[in-house]
C-alpha cells in the first residue's frame, strides 16, 4: 500500500467517527421513544405518568417518528464523502421535513400537554425558544441551499441539528444524575435541560467557526 493510499484510508475511517458519535448520542432518546410507542400501541392502563400521551397520542407519535428519522439519518449528513453524492440531497429533503416535524410537534406538546412539575416554566420557555430557533434554522438552511450558498447552508443546518440533539446531551447529563440521586426535581431538571442545549449551541458555533477558519486558511 502506498503512503497516499494509507492516508486516504485513515481519512475515510476518521470521517465516520462523527456520525458514529452522533448515532450514539441519539440512541438513548430514540430508545425511550420506541418504548413509548410500544406502550401506546398496546392499549395501556392510564396512569398519571402516561395520561397526556394516551389521551393525545398524535403529537408524541409524530414527534418520535420524526426525531428518530432526523437524529439517525441526520448523522450521515456530516460525512464529507457522502456530501459529494446524490444521497446528501435526497436525505436532505427527508431531513428538512422530519426536522420541521420535530420542532413543530415539540412546540405543540409544550403548549398543549399537561407537563410534569419538573418541567418548570423555564424549561418550557427554553422549549419555545429551541423549537422556534430549530424551525427557523431549517428554513434558512433550505433557502441557502436553493441559492447554492453552501457555506451558509451548512452553518444553519449544523445549528438546527445541534439544537435537536440537545435531547441526547440532556440524557447524558440527567441519566447519570437519576442513577445516583433518583428522579431529578424541578431545579436539577431545569439545570440539566438548559445545560444540554447550551453545550450543544456552544459546540455548534465552535464547529461553524472552525470550518470558516479552515476555509480562509
Ligand atoms: C432529535 C431531537 C429530539 C429527540 C430525540 C426527542 C425525543 C423525545 C422523546 C423520546 C419524547 C417522549 C418522551 C416520553 O415518552 O416520556 C419526547 C417528548 C417531548 N419532546 Fe422531544 N425530542 C427531540 C426534540 C425536541 C425539541 C426540539 C423539543 C422542543 C420544542 C421537544 C419537546 C418535547 C416535549 C414538550 C415532549 C413531551 C414531554 C413530556 O410530556 O414529558 N423535543 N421527545
Taking only the tens place, the pLDDT of each residue in 121-177 is 999 999 999 999 999 999 999 999 999 999 999 999 999 999 999 999 999 999 999
**Residue 161 Cα, ligand 1 centroid: separation in angstroms?**
14
Distance CA 145, CA 152 (A): 8
Q: Which residue's CA is minimally distant from atom 25 of ligand 1?
A: 106
Q: How confident is the model at residue 216 (pLDDT cuts 50, 70, 90)?
A: confident
For the record, the C-alpha cell of 177 comes out as: 444524575
Q: What is the pLDDT of residue 217?
A: 80
**Residue 24 Cα, ligand 1 centroid: separation in angstroms?**
17
Q: Which residues contact 79 (CB under 8 A, 6 or more apart)?
A: 15, 16, 18, 19
Q: Which residues contact 25 (CB under 8 A, 6 or more apart)?
A: 71, 165, 168, 169, 172
Q: Which of 53, 106, 125 to mutate to test the pocket of ligand 1 (most atoms within 8 A of CB)?
A: 106
Distance CA 166, CA 3 (A): 40
Pocket of ligand 1 (CB under 6 A): 26, 29, 32-33, 36, 52, 60, 63-64, 67, 70-71, 102-103, 106-107, 109-110, 113, 115-116, 127, 130-131, 134, 164-165, 167
* Chain-centre distance for alpha carbon 197: 10
Q: Which residue's CA is minimally distant from atom 34 of ligand 1?
A: 106
pTM beyond cutoff 0.85: yes
**Residue 194 Cα, ligand 1 centroid: separation in angstroms?**
14
Output the average pLDDT for the chain.
Answer: 94
Say if CB 155 and CB 143 are below 8 A apart. Answer: no
Q: Could you tell me the residue ranges of all domains in the chain?
A: 14-216
Burial of 189 (0-12, 13-18, 19+ CB in 10 A): buried
Q: Which residue's CA is minimally distant from atom 37 of ligand 1?
A: 109
**Residue 109 Cα, ligand 1 centroid: separation in angstroms?**
8
Q: Which of 114, 167, 192 to mutate to test the pocket of ligand 1 (most atoms within 8 A of CB)?
A: 167
- pLDDT, one tens digit per residue, over 72-85 is 999 999 998 888 88
- pLDDT, one tens digit per residue, over 81-118 is 888 889 999 999 999 999 999 999 999 999 999 999 99
Residue 1: pLDDT over 90 = no
Which atom of ligand 1 is nearest the CA belonging to 107?
A: 30
- pLDDT, one tens digit per residue, over 20-66 is 999 999 998 999 999 999 999 999 999 999 999 999 999 999 999 99
Give the residue-averaged pLDDT of 205-213.
95
Amino acid at each position: 500500500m502506498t503512503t497516499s493510499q494509507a492516508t486516504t484510508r485513515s481519512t475515510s475511517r476518521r470521517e465516520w467517527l462523527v456520525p458514529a458519535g452522533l448515532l450514539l448520542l441519539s440512541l438513548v432518546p430514540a430508545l425511550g421513544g420506541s418504548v413509548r410507542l410500544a406502550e401506546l400501541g398496546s392499549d395501556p392502563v392510564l396512569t398519571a405518568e402516561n395520561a397526556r400521551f394516551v389521551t393525545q397520542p398524535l403529537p408524541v407519535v409524530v414527534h418520535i417518528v420524526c426525531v428518530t428519522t432526523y437524529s439517525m439519518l441526520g448523522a450521515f449528513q456530516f460525512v464529507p464523502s457522502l456530501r459529494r453524492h446524490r444521497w446528501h440531497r435526497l436525505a436532505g429533503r427527508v431531513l428538512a421535513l422530519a426536522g420541521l416535524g420535530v420542532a413543530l410537534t415539540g412546540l405543540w406538546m409544550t403548549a398543549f400537554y399537561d407537563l410534569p412539575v419538573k418541567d418548570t416554566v423555564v424549561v418550557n420557555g427554553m422549549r419555545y425558544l429551541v423549537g422556534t430557533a430549530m424551525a427557523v434554522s431549517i428554513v434558512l438552511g433550505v433557502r441557502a441551499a436553493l441559492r447554492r450558498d453552501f457555506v451558509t447552508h451548512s452553518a444553519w443546518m449544523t445549528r438546527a441539528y445541534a439544537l435537536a440533539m440537545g435531547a441526547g446531551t440532556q440524557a447524558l447529563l440527567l441519566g447519570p444524575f437519576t442513577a445516583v440521586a433518583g428522579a431529578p426535581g424541578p431545579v436539577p431538571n431545569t439545570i440539566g435541560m438548559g445545560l444540554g442545549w447550551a453545550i450543544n449551541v456552544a459546540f455548534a458555533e465552535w464547529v461553524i467557526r472552525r470550518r470558516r477558519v479552515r476555509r480562509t486558511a
